[in-house]
Structure 1
Amino acid sequence: MRLRLDRLGVEIDGRALVRDLDLDVDSGRITGLVGPNGSGKSTALRCVYRALRPTTGTVRLDDRELPALPRREAARAVAALTQENGSELDFTVAEIVALGRTPHLRGNQAPSRRERELCRRAMADLDVLHLADRGVLTLSGGERQRVLAARALVQEPAVLVLDEPTNHLDIRHQIELLALLRRTGTTVLIVLHDLNLAAAVCDRIGVLAGGALVASGTPADVLTPELVRTVFGVAATVVPHPLTGDPQLLYSLEGHA
């Protein structure tokens, strides 16, 4: 399923947080949003998972406007891993992951054998199966993040939206999560602060600054020393990864633009 942010604008209290944003997320591809703090990345994502209604423009799934879809249909189409995922209820890990099937069930309908296996496999893929009977409030931040990622995956969405999903994760679990996103073949829109991770996992990258899109293209086209200096205010040398050829940025502590 193709996702499109169509001239999206968000204004709150007279301040434009996102301005005239056009961005295509091709079906089955991973598109990243990067930019400095306050550039509008998370605000744009909130419009996609319907936590926020845009002031202007719209979000489209193929040729349909997402805000016009019934909530259950939208929940089956779009899953989100956000930065506001706290819970005060001490559900078990297995119960939290199973909540991802809620848009597909009616009333008190019990999960099928296939759905239980889907949950088990997602927990195994995210390395939380051994935590299945633990209360989620007893987990570390990284463990809880992996549980919530598993919940999003079992939703079987056409579009997966992730806002800084590698927060709290150690390097092994960062790599495993991003590799898993590659294998799913799902349409993915992801916000990442780490430009090197973005270059490694994303097919295309959109760069936001001041709420506006200032560059869009492949990682090699977008992540140039000139753009990094202009947008992020730091000096960087770009070199090819010795194994993959992906652009990798080397920063200098002395190099402020």
Structure 2
Amino acid sequence: MDLVLDGLSVVTDGEHLLRDLSLKVGSGQVVGLVGPNGSGKSTALRCVYRALRPSSGTVRVGADDLSRLPVRRSAQLVAAMTQEGAVDLDFTVEEVVALGRTPHLRGNQALSSREREVCERVMGLLDIGHLAHRGVLTLSGGERQRVLLARALVQEPEVLVLDEPTNHLDVRHQIELLSLLRGYGLTVLVVLHDLNLAAAACDRIGVLSQGRLVAAGTPAEVITPELVDRVFGVKASLVAHPLTGAPQLLYSLTPPA
């Protein structure tokens, strides 16, 4: 299903966190949001997974305005992996992953054999099956990231939103995670800080600055030295990846004056 952010604005205490953001994520596409700290990226995601009500504008999945749906139904459509998604109680990995099935269950309904199979399959995909009986508080930061992503995937949503999912991951698991997102078939909106990873993994990229969308398009259209200088204040040279042709940036480090 398509995800459409239509004219989203968020105003808090007189401050505009988002200003008239319009962005479409086509069905099955991976679209990245990039921008400096405080540019509104996480705010936009919170509007999608209904942690924050926009001051104006709508979020639609397919033909449905999410704000008009029951919370349980919107949770069946949209799964989120957030920066605030820490697990503070020492559940086991398999218990945390199984929580992703909650929107599909009623009351204290037990998991069916099919749902247990979904959990096991996703844990295998994310290389955490061997951790199933470990307490999450004993895991490394990167292992916990993969557990939280597994919890989101077993929700079997139409749309997946992720806020900096590669934090704490080593290079191998960063690449594996982003490759998985590209091949999973979901409609994905993801916040990434690494512009080179965004260029390699995303079909399209939206660039936010001070709450406004200042550029949107394919990585080749968006990832340019001019834009990086204007939005991030960083000098960079552009090269093509020798295997994929994706734009990649080489940053110029200059000593402080």
User: Normalising by the residue count of structure 1, what TM-score does the alignment of the two structures yield?
Assistant: 0.98
Alignment of 1:1-80 (within 5 A): 1-80=1-80
Which residue is 1:161 aligned to?
A: 161
Q: Is 1:124 the equivalent of 2:124? A: yes
Cα separation, 2, equivalents of 1:247 and 1:10: 32
Cα separation, 2, equivalents of 1:255 and 1:120: 50
Which residue is 2:98 aligned to?
A: 98
Distance apart, 1:109 and its partner CA: 1.6
Gap change, CA 1:255 and 1:240, over 3 Å in 2: farther
Query: What whole-Å deviation, never above 9, does each CA across 1:12-51 have from its counterpart, x for those lacking one?
Result: 1110000000100101000000000000000010000000
Cα separation, 1, equivalents of 2:229 and 2:145: 32
Task: Point out where structure 1 has 5 or more consecutive residues left out of the alignment.
Answer: none
Which residue is 1:141 aligned to?
A: 141
Runs of 4+ with deviation above 6 angstroms: none
Which amino acid is 1:99 matched to?
Answer: L
Gap change, CA 1:236 and 1:255, over 3 Å in 2: farther
Alignment of 1:81-230 (within 5 A): 81-230=81-230
Query: What whole-Å deviation, never above 9, does each CA across 1:138-176 have from its counterpart, x for those lacking one?
Result: 111111110000010111100000000000100111011
Distance apart, 1:79 and its partner CA: 0.2
Query: What whole-Å deviation, never above 9, does each CA across 1:162-218 have from its counterpart, x for those lacking one?
Result: 000000100111011101111111000000000000001100000000000000000
Cα separation, 1, equivalents of 2:56 and 2:189: 20
Task: Point out where structure 2 has 5 or more consecutive residues left out of the alignment.
Answer: none
Cα separation, 2, equivalents of 1:169 and 1:12: 33
Cα separation, 1, equivalents of 2:91 and 2:34: 33
The 8 Å contact of residues 235 and 255 in structure 1, kept in 2 or not, is answered as no
Cα separation, 2, equivalents of 1:76 and 1:255: 50
Cα separation, 1, equivalents of 2:27 and 2:106: 28
Cα separation, 1, equivalents of 2:21 and 2:216: 11
The 8 Å contact of residues 4 and 60 in structure 1, kept in 2 or not, is answered as yes
Q: Secondary structure in 1 aligned to 2:243?
A: coil
Aligned length: 256
Which residue is 1:250 aligned to?
A: 250
Cα separation, 2, equivalents of 1:111 and 1:105: 8
Cα separation, 1, equivalents of 2:33 and 2:227: 14
RMSD, aligned CA:
1.0
% same residue: 72
Distance apart, 1:255 and its partner CA: 8.7
Cα separation, 1, equivalents of 2:121 and 2:140: 21
Which amino acid is 1:168 matched to?
Answer: H
Q: Which stretch shows the higher mean deviation, 45-54 or 99-108? A: 99-108
Q: Secondary structure in 2 aligned to 1:205?
A: strand
Q: Secondary structure in 2 aligned to 1:254?
A: coil
User: Normalising by the residue count of structure 2, what TM-score does the alignment of the two structures yield?
Assistant: 0.98
The 8 Å contact of residues 30 and 202 in structure 1, kept in 2 or not, is answered as yes
The 8 Å contact of residues 236 and 255 in structure 1, kept in 2 or not, is answered as no
